[in-house]
Amino acid sequence: MAEVRLERAGEIAIIEIDNPPVNALSHAVRAALASRIDEAMTDDAVKAVVITCAGRTFVAGADINELGKPRSPPLTVDIAAQLDDCAKPVVAAIHGTALGGGLELALACHWRVAAPDARLGLPEVKLGIIPGGGGTQRLPRAIGAKPALDLIVSGDTIGAQAALEAGLVDALATRDDLRATAVALARRIVAEKRPPKRLRDRAVPPVPAELFTRARSDAARRYRGFEAPLKAVDAVAASMTCFDDGLKREQAIFAELLRGPQFGTLRHVFFAEREAAKISDLPTDLPPREIAQAAIVGAGTMGGGIALCFADAGIPVTLIDSDRAALERGLAALRRNFESSARRRNLPAAELDKRLGLIKPSLRLADAASADLVVEAVFEDLPLKQSIFGKLDEIAKPGAILATNTSYQDVNLIAAATKRPADVLGLHFFSPAHVMRLVEVVRASATAPAVLAASLALVRKLRKLPVVVGAAPGFVGNRMLFERAREADRLLRDGALPRDVDQAMVEFGFPMGPFAATDLAGLDISWRMRKARGISFPVADALCEAGRFGQKTGKGYYRYDGGSRDGMADDETERIVASVRERLGVTSRPVAAGVIVERLIYPMVNQAARLLESGVALRPGDIDLIWINGYGFPAWRGGPMFYADQVGLANVRDRLAHLARELGEKALAPAPLIERRVKEGRGFYS
């Protein structure tokens, strides 16, 4: 039972879980923990128990490798019941994260002490399941039905101070004194002869019945397509009955979801994130390279958003723009975004001011001289970016990392403008940068391993998801997006209307369709890029030539009256599309929704296969993560590569071959990698 130790501090038994790296509740840990609890309960010299964990965290959840497989008792729900039944007081000492089964164990203890940096939560919905160890029944009894719904349905975490105020923990202690504080509390409980304080014995404070009706409606809207959040509402609603009945309902829902398809899909996404952190040729013994100070060049939407990310992570950042008015606009927008974020997170005003104070505005590029990292975030113009990097080469201190936020330019060409290409890479943040989780970390040909490693560590410190990609134009996400955009334009020429295409993709699971998304971003952005590369999208080009650039001009694929963000079908768009068809000699015909989905998704998969074969993308899972976190691909479908395997890669191959013949488009011919995998009877993941 090496995973769980028991030691004595006088009459207090300290049970310590030690299962690195995150003390996951594997079967071995559960069995050893059950044995140690029994040992403490049967020892007459023991008067109380403290449950604690070694290493950097409390129990961070179940062993996900065991989920979905036959499970051997004791299960987490069994351990929780065992702790509940203990006649002697049990105190949980929480540091790091207490997530999923970890929080369920802590909730089954009679008292809870937390370190100030601890975070607690039940994130199971992010795996397509609900808590299965009594969490949906004990948490409402600890903090009330409404706060419990908010945490369980969203899968969000709560900090130690907020947990104390909510009644989820009983006391805070410093990290160094956590065990001593928990032991002292246990001794005080014994001295005062307090009986165990069991959450299962509490009733959930009454709430109006419409709370759950409203929660179901909100969950259906906010988590469209996901099953677990709605089921989580049902489980929490069951906590309003007696504990045993509610627990039976939780267990039934948990088992149902564990057998369902979304658990397998979201489990795939979870493991893809783990794999994305592994770069096979990156040495593990690189010396740490601290990024203690940053500079951002360009105070536009992206630059301001990136600066906000740094300040929010406690990293001082200089925001530089040569235009005073642009700098002032950027700072004003940044403050508005920060204030909005602070309200959502209940961040105190003093903390908001402290973080905003980390952002120093400047009109001088020379003020980037002291930065450990400089991120260029100016207009997408290659000569302009090269000019800035040439100047930064002279200004930045030796060893500083020079990063570009370009979304499609060749990072190798940008690096070539410096005498230190080994220090250059791309950090492609997605808009809005302070909200979007994904960062494509673009490894140029000369990027030094230490630079890549430091950048990956930084992105994680910013609480974002880094995915390493190669330095080809457009990288991974936008290379695939280009194929979708080209096929979307062709669908309009063939007879579909913008609302037909958008509706099909929304029903597939995207938050918005491609044309609504383009209207939001602005048609002129991609138009300039296409013109620079000599590429034509006939319908999109015609709309731009008519001055229809999207929401900012009040008209694009849709019409936006009175500054509305809700697009309306527009006769003028249809006339422009009809004129393009006539000019190209295309006969209009209706296009079914299923065909629309195939014609937009399969060319993306085809391009992704080419990116895999060329090494621009490292793994199919990386591509899935990029599209889920950067472009709104429904996570419950697993990403484009996982989806291709689900529908059958042979089916994707056959449809691509058919489209290539029907449309006379060689680019749609199945990629060699797809042909090989199908011939071998394999998919991307098999």
Which tokens in the block code for residue 317?
């950042």
- The identity of residue 344, as a single letter, is R
Cis peptide before 21 (omega within 30 of 0): yes
Dist. CA 361–CA 331, nearest whole Å? 8
CB 131 within 8 A of CB 217: no
- Catalytic residue selected from 3, 104, 227, 440: 104
Q: How far is CA 617 from the centre of its chain?
A: 19
Which tokens in the block code for residue 320?
């530089």
376 catalytically annotated: no
Burial 71-98 (b: 16+ CB within 10 A, else e): eeebbbbebbbbbbebebbbbbbbbbbb
Dist. CA 668–CA 274, nearest whole Å? 32
328 catalytically annotated: no
- Catalytic residue selected from 124, 227, 440, 598: 124
Taking CB atoms within 8 Å and a gap of at least 24, the contacts of 187-195 are 187/10, 187/11, 187/12, 187/48, 189/48, 189/89, 189/91, 189/111, 190/11, 190/12, 190/47, 190/48, 190/89, 194/89
Going by the DSSP 8-state scheme, the letter that residue 286 receives in this structure is: P
> Per DSSP, which regions of 393-461 are E strands?
401-404, 424-429, 438-443
Query: Could you tell me which of 289, 257, 283 has the C-alpha nearest to residue 131?
Result: 257
Residue 534 to residues 491, 527, 530, 549, 568: CA-CA distances in angstroms? 21, 10, 6, 19, 31
Residues known to be catalytic: 104, 124
